Chain A
C-alpha cells in the first residue's frame, strides 16, 4: 500500500505563507479530508501531494511499504480530479478513456469495461456516444473525469472539490467510490467543504491559511 508523508511542509506565494510546517502521514486504505476556508491552501496541498508543485520547505515522500517511490513511479500510481483537470475537448468520452487507459493498462478499452465505467459514474451511453467532450455539460465532464480516474486503477486518489458541479446523485457516487477505493487499500486525499464528504473521511487535515 502506498503512503504519503508530509514533513514540516511550508508553501508560500509571494510574501504570503499558505501552508506552514505541515506534518502528516497519509496511509493507504484511508480517506483523508482536507478542509478549510477558500484560499486556505487545500488545492495547493493537493498539487504538492501530486508533485505538480514543490514545497518551499520540508519534504513530501511517497512510499510503497518501506520503499521510497521515485517521481515517475509515484506519478504512474496517481490519479486526480481537480477543477484544473480537463479531458480532451475534441475527443469523445470513449476516445478520452481509451487514451488515458493506454498509459496504465496493458489491454485496450473493451466495450464491457467502457459501459461499466459509464454506469459507475452515472453517464448514460446514449448521452455521450458520438459526442465530443466540448459538447458535454460541466457535470458530465466531471463524471467523465471520475471515469478516467476509476479506469486508471491508481493507488492514490487526489480529489479537489470532487462534488462541485455534480447533482445529489453525483455527489453520492463520489462518496461511494471514495469509500470503496479506501476499503480496497487506496489512499484517498479529498479537499472539500462539503459536510457529507467530510463525514465520509477517516481523518481530517484542517488548514487555517494565513
Chain B
C-alpha cells in the first residue's frame, strides 16, 4: 500500500508549519527583519515621497531579503537539527520539494500581506489597482519560494550556505523580481501593463516544472 503524493505533501507542509510555530525562529526572524527595514526607511524618509518605481523596488527588496534571512534556510535547519538523514531516507523527493516550497510560499505571502499595508501607510503610497497588486504579490512570492527551496536544497551541506545562497539567488530571482517591481509600480500609478503578469505566471510555471525535474537528481544524487 503506497501513500499518495498529496498526503505526503500535506504531511511535509504540516510538519514545517508545526516546527515553525513551535520554534518561532524562522518566521520571527523574517518578520523582524521586514519591520526593522520598514521602520528605518520610513524614519529616514522624514516625509519625503519616493517615486513609484523606487517605492516598488524597495518593497520587493525587503521581500527578497526576508526570504534570504529566514525562509530560505529550510534544508540548512534540517541539517543542523540532524533530521536531514531521516528525511532523505523516508521522504519522497516531490513531497519534500512541494511541501517545503508551498509552506515557504504561504509564509512569504502572509508576510507580504502584513508588510504591504504598513509599508503603504508609512511611505504614504496610494494603490490604484488592488487586485493586480495582490496577484503580483501572489505570483512573486510563489516564484521566489520555489526557487528558494530548490537552491536551499542545493546548498545543504555547503559550508558557506548564506553567502552562496545570496549569490545564487540573485540571478535566479531577477527574472521575476524585475516584472514584479514594474507591475507594483504600475499599481501605485494606475498605469499597468498586464503582460508582465503573464511573464510572472510563466516564470512560476517554468520554476515549478524545473524544480520538480531537478529535485529528483538532487535528492537521489549519485
A87-B8 contact, Cβ under 8 Å, with A95-B18, A107-B1: no
Q: Is B22 an interface residue (CB 8 A)?
A: yes
**What separation, in Å, do the CA atoms of A90 and B81 have in the docked complex?**
10
Is the beta-carbon distance between B85 and A90 smaller than 8 angstroms? no
Q: Is A17 an interface residue (CB 8 A)?
A: no
Q: Is B195 an interface residue (CB 8 A)?
A: no
Is the beta-carbon distance between A103 and B222 smaller than 8 angstroms? no
Is the beta-carbon distance between B89 and A72 smaller than 8 angstroms? no
Is the beta-carbon distance between B86 and A103 smaller than 8 angstroms? no
Q: Is A91 an interface residue (CB 8 A)?
A: yes
A54-B222 contact, Cβ under 8 Å, with A78-B89, A88-B19: yes
The listed residue (A71, A90, A91, A103) touching B91 by CB distance below 8 A is A103
In the complex, which residues 50-91 of chain B have their Cβ closer than 8 Å to any Cβ of chain A?
Answer: 81-83, 85-86, 88-91
Is the beta-carbon distance between B1 and A85 smaller than 8 angstroms? no
Q: Is A201 an interface residue (CB 8 A)?
A: no
In the complex, which residues 84-134 of chain A have their Cβ closer than 8 Å to any Cβ of chain B?
Answer: 84-91, 95, 98-107, 132
Min CB distance B100 to A, Å, is 13
Is the beta-carbon distance between A106 and B1 smaller than 8 angstroms? yes
Q: Which residues of B contact A105 (CB under 8 A)?
A: 1, 3
Min CB distance A16 to B, Å, is 22
**What separation, in Å, do the CA atoms of A88 and B23 have in the docked complex?**
12
Q: Which residues of A contact B10 (CB under 8 A)?
A: 102
**What separation, in Å, do the CA atoms of A54 and B216 have in the docked complex?**
17
Q: Which residue of B lies closest to A95 (CB)?
A: B18
Q: Which residue of A lies closest to B14 (CB)?
A: A99
Is the beta-carbon distance between B93 and A72 smaller than 8 angstroms? yes
Q: Which residues of A contact B23 (CB under 8 A)?
A: 90
Is the beta-carbon distance between B3 and A90 smaller than 8 angstroms? no
**What separation, in Å, do the CA atoms of A181 and B146 have in the docked complex?**
40
A87-B83 contact, Cβ under 8 Å, with A52-B88, A80-B89: yes
| Chain B interface, number of residues (Cβ within 8 angstroms) | 30
Q: Is A176 an interface residue (CB 8 A)?
A: no
Is the beta-carbon distance between B15 and A103 smaller than 8 angstroms? no
Of B18, B81, B83, B90, most A-chain CB atoms within 10 Å? B90
Q: Which residues of B contact A82 (CB under 8 A)?
A: 85
Min CB distance A194 to B, Å, is 22
The listed residue (A72, A88, A102, A132) touching B81 by CB distance below 8 A is A88
Q: Is B11 an interface residue (CB 8 A)?
A: yes
**What separation, in Å, do the CA atoms of A76 and B81 have in the docked complex?**
23
Q: Is B92 an interface residue (CB 8 A)?
A: yes
**What separation, in Å, do the CA atoms of A90 and B86 have in the docked complex?**
14
A103-B8 contact, Cβ under 8 Å, with A72-B93, A72-B216, A86-B82: yes
In the complex, which residues 49-100 of chain A have their Cβ closer than 8 Å to any Cβ of chain B?
Answer: 50-52, 54, 71-72, 75-76, 78-80, 82, 84-91, 95, 98-100
Q: Is A32 an interface residue (CB 8 A)?
A: no
Is the beta-carbon distance between B11 and A72 smaller than 8 angstroms? no
Q: Which residues of A contact B159 (CB under 8 A)?
A: none
Is the beta-carbon distance between A91 and B7 smaller than 8 angstroms? no
Q: Is A192 an interface residue (CB 8 A)?
A: no
Q: Is A30 an interface residue (CB 8 A)?
A: no
A71-B81 contact, Cβ under 8 Å, with A90-B19, A91-B15: no
A104-B19 contact, Cβ under 8 Å, with A50-B89, A79-B89, A88-B81: no
A and B contact pairs by CB, cutoff 8 A, 6 listed? A79-B89, A88-B19, A88-B81, A102-B10, A103-B8, A148-B86
Inter-chain pairs besides A95-B18, A102-B7, 15 sampled, C-beta below 8 Å = A50-B89, A72-B92, A72-B93, A75-B220, A80-B85, A86-B81, A86-B85, A87-B86, A90-B18, A95-B15, A101-B3, A102-B3, A103-B91, A106-B2, A152-B90
- The 8 closest A-B CB pairs, nearest first, are A102-B11, A86-B82, A71-B220, A106-B1, A90-B22, A90-B19, A100-B90, A99-B15
